[in-house]
Amino acid sequence: MTNNSTFKGYQRQDGRKGIRNVIAVVYLVECAHHVAREISSSFGGQVHLIGFPGCYPNQYADRIMNSICTHPNVGAVLLVSLGCESFNRNRLKDNIEKSGRPVHLIGIQKTGGTRKTIDEGKRWVSETVEKIKSVPQVDMGLHELSIGTICGGSDATSGISANPAVGRAFDTLVAKGAVCIFEETGEMIGLENMMSTRARTPALAGELQKSVEKAAIYYSKMGHGSFAPGNADGGLTTIEEKSMGAYSKSGNSLITGLIKPGDIPAQGGLYLMDVVPDGEPVFGFPNINDNAEIVEMIASGSHLILFTTGRGSVVGSAISPVIKICANPETYNRLSDDMDINAGKILNGNATLDEVGDEIVNKVIWVAKGGQSCSEELGHQEFILTYKKFEPIGPSCLPGF
């Protein structure tokens, strides 16, 4: 790991620190999507488009949007409303204002339609781009970072190169005091007993087991799961094999807590995020989606995301940088423009897991210092927010808080 692991962060008025200073242009219903996109597309990488398509939101979507708009990497927010959707836009605006960020709400119906709204939005963004350049930059260390991890497009190499290398990186980052978040409880099926032995308390161990059991029931009732045809084409044989590979991203540290999307850990440590909806499955609840889970980890404070892939994935993210770690050396050679780290060299005998783990930590520091990940350079800003339902976590999920 590099000796210089400090960097400059953007000091927010709410006390948090970010590694980016982006403006979020937010559509609050699908009817406002085009207008918001036209506004954001004029400004390049510092302005990110996000939004919620539903005319009537639920508590989950409301919570995620409020968390994203006050994320440490966000410097200002433009809210684009049609005017008749049910999203509580005024409360969202108030919450952003309370966090100390510049915010402006435009209603398309009130402003006078597409062209007038686009013009007003562009004027506000242009002024605000200059305004947020004055946000103070202060020293920031690894212990103040929050890092999420996810795997997508997995193959038979994922569980023996990229995923365990991320686990080694997580062990280093947790030891430095960072928040590290892993998820995909639907890919922990069969490993719940093993995972529970790493819980800090017996009560947390029980919560970890229940989260995986819930995932198994959910996918059974919904008739789908987390094992795709592409995984089989890539050499994986069973969900258990895929699960073991996914689980290895968590490393060997003790698990500090169990969170749900939008929960922000109050101290460093390793956290499992439960992304499977609570209660009975209902129409409209989604299957596993890499982009949605990235959004959920960002909503829980992740400054950046470690994305492992064997078959290959090109997605990035709005708000937080995505670092791609490729498990398969052949995939890396084909998709090198999209990949930040070649973990496939472990399979070729050109590096050890520990060496690639250190490389990942160094890349985290480099990106935190302002270096662009491949997905950032390519302009990826994927974002999706749909419908789910979650109950609040209980006290046993966060021992010691």
pLDDT digit string (tens) for 288-340? 688 999 999 999 999 999 999 988 899 999 899 999 999 999 999 999 999 99
pLDDT band at 239; cut points 50, 70, 90: low
Question: What pLDDT digit, counting tens, does each position of 175-199 carry?
Answer: 999 999 999 888 788 888 889 999 9
The stretch 19-45 carries a mean pLDDT of 96
The answer, yes or no, to whether residue 233 has pLDDT greater than 70, is no
Percent of the chain with pLDDT strictly greater than 90: 76
What's residue 224's pLDDT? 60
What's residue 289's pLDDT? 82
Residue 213: both structure tokens together? 């059991």
- What's the CA dihedral at 120, 122, 127, 133 to 10 degrees? 150
Fold assignment, 22-134:
Rossmann fold (3.40.50)
CA 304/CA 325 separation, integer angstroms: 13
Asked whether the beta carbons of 35 and 121 are under 8 A apart, the reply is yes
pTM, to two decimals: 0.93
CA 39/CA 51 separation, integer angstroms: 13
CATH 3.40.50.920 in the chain: give the residue spans.
22-134
The stretch 198-225 carries a mean pLDDT of 88
Angle between helices 59-69 and 89-98 (to 10 degrees): 30
CA 32/CA 392 separation, integer angstroms: 31
Beta bridge partners of 259: 273
* Cβ burial 107-141 (10 Å sphere, 16+ → b, else e): bbeebeeeeebbebbbebbeebbeebeebeeeebb
The answer, yes or no, to whether residue 235 has pLDDT greater than 80, is no
What's residue 243's pLDDT? 64
What's residue 149's pLDDT? 96
